[in-house]
Amino acid sequence: MKRFRLGRNAVIAATLLLSNIAVSGYCDEKHNFDNTKNLDVFYSIYKQLDLFYVDSIKPEKVIRTGINAMLGSLDPYTNYIPEDEMEDFKFITTGEYGGIGSIIGSRNGNIIISEPYENMPAAKAGLKAGDVVLEIDGKSVKGKAINEVSEWLKGQPNTIIKIKYQRDENKPKEVTVTRSKITVSSVPYYTVVGNNTGYILISSFTDKTGEEFKSAFLDLKNNKKITSLIIDLRGNGGGIMEEAIKVINYFVPKGVEVVSTKGKVKQWDRVYKTPAEPLDTQIPIAVMVNRGSASASEIVSGALQDLDRAVIIGSRTFGKGLVQTTRPISYNGSIKVTTAKYYTPSGRCVQAIDYSNRNPDGSVGKTPDSLTTVFYTKNRRPVRDGGGITPDVTTEEVQIPNIVYYLESDYLLFDYATQYVRKHDKIDIAGKFALTDADFNDFKAFVKSKNFTYDRQSDKALKELKEVAKFEGYYESAEPEFKALEAKLTHDLDKSLNKFSTDIRNMLEIEIAKRYYFQKGEIAQTLKNDKEIKKTLEVINNAQKTSELLKATASK
């Protein structure tokens, strides 16, 4: 690996050059001097380390650590993207890459196929979830990191790769796979739920989201004759703002302001209005959100809420009101830098954390509700800034029992699904599939055979309470009650599996459905028992309730 040295004069020259471009209007003479001084200090320190540190220094590693620390002191979204990571970054924005079309994972030191994509090279070659990858083009993957193996699997479309794998205890096999362009849809599923209600899931906002959403909506409207619509943005962390604006535009008239941005460089401040004629301005809409909904998801939900065009249902969103711009830098890298804040039509910014005002220890906290400001929607409904989007109808997020978490993290759900697929050629369609009682009893026997145990928070809490009671001198008088409680909390796997059987069955059915029907099957099976979907249907199909929610409730 080549070593490089930063020239002191080059650093100073670059700093002086920066001070003379457009942003110089925001820098005074002292600021310019501080820039030059501190860059010079940084270079001097690195030079001394490079010359005299006892061990050889790897410049890429040391400088990268410094860069990451510098950017980390600003916010989590300002990032350096070196040349070798640009392809991964492009995938986030486009949903495209060259490869075999499969998610891989690490298990007991082995690389396994976790999820092959439908109709992609891996699936077409016969690779299935649970297969252990042994070699790629003759190179062993034993002990290799997932990222390294992932790079081996990626490559230009139409190139050939040989994969040796093992399934169960069978003899290893080798398949030849032709890579292709893999496109991961940002609108992976849409359907009709309830009584003529369309459902569209948006998992992220890539450069194709607008067109994919439009296609899904028109199919539901023209061919399925839907009378209302649910847009599911739960867990959608955002993406390209322009694609969010397209989705809003489908339901809002042309020329309406839907978002604005303001930053340090005033020439970059913009007001975004809907650029085209809408598809439907009348259909009732519900937008589902949760704390995993952020950025572009909050632009969509915030604009439709401010314009009283949709009812927002779920839990408060993440609160990311910052806009990033990608700028090219030396050696084919880029920096993704926060350049502005965005504001919904009412004028509010949903940013929950003020990264510029940190605590003495460097930590940051969310803006308390008491310090937020009231804004008003088109119908004069009060909404607040500073903490994400607060839904019009709040639902409780489903709490997954502790045992389900450990069954999943210990791969027992995954392994049983793998075993189940080997024994069953087909299952009922996704969304209707259900395990029999005999199947669930078989699963319980499978779990017991693995000597499964799980961490129970009640045990920890009881032990801590006993310690406190002993310290404060109350334990002896309360000892009978403690022993009675211990008896009730005694670990009983059979009891736990039965007590949480509904949740366990649901998760197991989802894992199994995914094996037969891929991602669409996973989503369809998930919707089968989705309590939040049921609540949303109740609201969106009650015209009077929807109307009341969107009416003015306060005057300025």
306 in active site: yes
C-alpha–C-alpha distance, residues 350 and 365, integer Å: 14
Backbone angles phi, psi at 312, to 5 degrees: -95, 130
Question: Which helix (H) or strand (E) covers residue 409, if one does?
Answer: helix 402-409
C-alpha–C-alpha distance, residues 247 and 409, integer Å: 36
Give me 460's structure tokens.
């920890």
Could you tell me which residues come within 8 angstroms of residue 500 by beta carbon, excluding any fewer than 6 positions away? Answer: 401, 403, 404
- One-letter amino acid at 490 equals T
Nearest to 427 by CA among 520, 521, 506: 521
Q: Give the largest CA-CA distance in the chain.
A: 78
Question: Which helix (H) or strand (E) covers residue 258, if one does?
Answer: strand 257-263
- One-letter amino acid at 495 equals K
C-alpha–C-alpha distance, residues 380 and 304, integer Å: 14
Give me 173's structure tokens.
């096999």
Contact (CB, 8 A) for 367 and 352 = yes
Classify the C-alpha dihedral 212-213-215-220 as positive or negative: positive
Contact (CB, 8 A) for 112 and 130 = yes
Residue 300 CB: number of other CB atoms within 10 A? 32
Alpha-helical (H) ranges within 121-264 are: 121-124, 146-153, 209-222, 241-249
C-alpha–C-alpha distance, residues 555 and 123, integer Å: 58
Strand pairing of 311-314 and 393-394?
A: parallel
Q: Supply the Cα-derived Rg of the chain in whole angstroms.
A: 28
C-alpha–C-alpha distance, residues 499 and 458, integer Å: 15
Q: Exactly one of 75, 306, 385, 530 is catalytic; which is it?
A: 306
Contact (CB, 8 A) for 294 and 238 = yes
295 in active site: yes
C-alpha–C-alpha distance, residues 331 and 313, integer Å: 46
Give me 446's structure tokens.
């499978």
C-alpha–C-alpha distance, residues 124 and 135, integer Å: 19
- DSSP label of 549: H
> What interhelical angle do 241-249 and 209-222 show, nearest 10?
20
128 in active site: no
Q: Exactly one of 186, 203, 293, 295 is catalytic; which is it?
A: 295
C-alpha–C-alpha distance, residues 393 and 385, integer Å: 17
Q: Exactly one of 154, 320, 514, 520 is catalytic; which is it?
A: 320
Burial label, 513 (beta-carbon count in 10 A; 0-12, 13-18, 19+): buried
**Which sequence positions are flagged as catalytic?**
295, 306, 320
